[in-house]
Amino acid sequence: MYSGICMSPNLVSGRYDLVKFIKEIQAQGLYVCLRIGPFIESEWTYGGFPFWLHDVPGIVYRTDNEPFKFYMQNFTTKIVNLMKSEGLYASQGGPIILSQIENEYQNVEAAFHEKGPIYVKWAAKMGVELETGVPWVMCKQTDAPDPVINTCNGMRCGETFGGPNSPNKPSMWTENWTSFYQVYGGEPYIRSAEDIAFHVALFIAKKGSYINYYMYHGGTNFGRTTSAYVITSYYDQAPLDEYGLLRQPKWGHLKELHIMIKNCSTPLLQGVQSNFSIGPLQQAYVFKEGTGACVAFLVNNDATKNVTVQFQNNSFELLPKSIGILPDCQNMVFNTAKVTTKPNKRITTLTKMFNEVDMWKEFKEDIPNFLDNSLRSNSLLEHMNTTQDKSDYLWYTFSFQPNSTCPQPVLHVESLGHVVHAYINTIFIEAGHGSHDTKGFSMDIPITLIDGINNVSILSVMVGLPDSGAFLESRYAGLTKVTIQCSESYIYDFTNYTWGYQIGLEGEKLQVFKEQSLEEVEWSEIDDSTNKSLTWYKTTFDAPIGDEPIALNMSSMQKGAVWVNEQSIGRYWVSFLTSKGNPSQTLYHVPRSFLNPTGNLLVVLEELNGDPLQISLNTISLVNVNSPFSYHHLPQ
């Protein structure tokens, strides 16, 4: 069981009630690896750190730095003491069998030079001295100091893991990636049931004692919790998808494998392992226990063909890239590449279209000019430090009057943020954006200037904060250069100029997504103007009958955010297409726990030019391939 914790100030209420969550895990007969971090990465904005940490004088994250170590120890101690006070460690009869300190630190350790290893030793010692009564682990940390256990993360730890760094430590796989996170502009990563099963079986065959799936159940990154460019849906390709529905055959095939391994627990836990070659690309791993219990794993590493091997005077045919499991060392009853579970597919059923004009009301953001803003600077301010993560949005504004003719002006913008919307004299001109793999971008936009004072308003947008890498506290985002070119020889450079700034949007400040704040602005009928940028829309709807999961289809929109009954469903970015021309995500999960039977408030912020009249509400269900019958519940 995975439990990663971000440094939230509130760990005792609502969806952040950590104690309640862990007690529910125990009630369901499960165990917990409490991954305290406090850096967790996890495609969570800022790696789980609160942004205020950035402003602590002299702080450098995740190294031998006294300010950082102070806050890290304070947080870790708070979590451990909270767990102890509730009797939740296994040493107290609770479900927490492991604790984790730090997260994949070796990926960045070299960047801190001699301070990296010092920090590793300090973090390990600090955790152990909290005396949880259960082991501590460090994932992807080959130099984890005793008694902390070094563990593996990845998709193929049976092949890539170098093993424990001490003979008295078990071989553990703390993250078996069943898929991979998806970013805007990226296609989903599909990992097959056969591949997952092969590497699980191989890790067990090589004396692996612990495997944790990341993720076994997908989920939803509500609100602004995703890291940079990561979509709202998370690990939807897991054995249990974002909605908690079975993704077959992945779920069923792994269940069969788990049953097989559990039934072989006696020789696996008490037997002696041996391994030997049974072919040029084939290997046997055998566990024999004194009373006669025996299990064999016959491995075929040849991905191109079936292979017949000899084992204990019997012939066994192995499928390409597969492992055959013989729970009695005589009969092969499971092969990782032989899937017997029937596949299924997810279907959406339309329950409501929001396609009538009189269903909706709209409120348009005013485009701020330089004179509207009291926050001023003679240079371009860094985006994250200015907003303090209170909003995705930061307005950069300036005004100027050309002092010569400018017949064909071109606005040039360079940004290390994620998105830019450019306005000249409150008129939307163009939008541009970067990508997860391209950290900066530029725009060259032909514009029209008026005689006299011109107002330039540029909205910089972040789609989550960075979550990984060294020196996270020193990252730069936002505009880096702005010019207007009048001719090849004459360019206005506004990079070092007097700028006005506005943090966030007016609708955000007034919280127009809340019922009690709706009257703070003047809502009007939807008009038919072509300028739909930065528009808020609101309507109401009744919950669909039944208990099937619910999703909003936002395929007619472009980029923005959604709220239902004041709960943020997350960001959407439908207009950012993949290389195959598809949106990365169009369906947005609305948990039934967010809904009332009737009169649910839906508020949408559209940044560009989406059409709310084509938004729809859908239920999600499953159907077996080649079967007309749908279902949505977990089997008993």
Decide: helix, strand or coil at residue 83.
Answer: helix
pLDDT for 2: 44
CA distances from 114 to 70, 110, 118 (A): 20, 8, 7
- The pLDDT of 539-555, averaged and rounded, is 98
Q: Indicate if the pLDDT at residue 633 is higher than 80.
A: no
Distance, in Å, from the CA atom of 140 to the CA atom of 156, rounded to the nearest integer, reads 13
Of the residues 104, 109, 194, 365, only one is catalytic, namely 104
User: Other C-beta atoms within 10 Å of 551: how many?
Assistant: 22
Single-letter amino acid code for the residue at 179: S
Residue 104 annotated among the catalytic residues of the structure: yes
| Residue 15 pLDDT | 85
Catalytic: which of 43, 102, 175, 508?
Answer: 175
For position 635, what pLDDT does the model report? 38
- Averaged confidence pLDDT in the chain: 95
pLDDT of 628 over the 80 cut: no
pLDDT of residue 1: 46
C-beta of residue 149 within 8 angstroms of C-beta of residue 129: no
Give 154's strand partners.
Answer: 176
**CA 309/CA 79 separation, integer angstroms:** 52
Distances (CA, A) of 475 to 36, 110, 231, 465, 467: 24, 18, 21, 10, 11
pLDDT for the residue 7: 60
Which helix (H) or strand (E) is 420 found in, with range? strand 419-424
Decide: 620 and 545 in contact? Cβ < 8 Å.
no
pTM of the model: 0.95
Average pLDDT over residues 372-387: 97
- Give me the residues paired with residue 588 across strands: 552
626 pLDDT higher than 80: no
For residue 618, the cross-strand partners are 350, 551
Confidence of residue 631 (pLDDT cuts 50, 70, 90): very low
For 97-122, what is each residue's pLDDT tens digit? 999 999 999 999 999 999 999 999 99
- Quick one: pLDDT band at residue 406, thresholds 50, 70, 90? confident
Sheet bearing 559-564, strands edge to edge: 361-364, 535-541, 600-606, 559-564, 567-573
Q: How far apart are CA 512 and CA 636, in angstroms?
A: 43
For the stretch 321-342, pLDDT in tens is 999 999 999 999 999 999 999 9
Q: Token pair of 491, please?
A: 């360019």
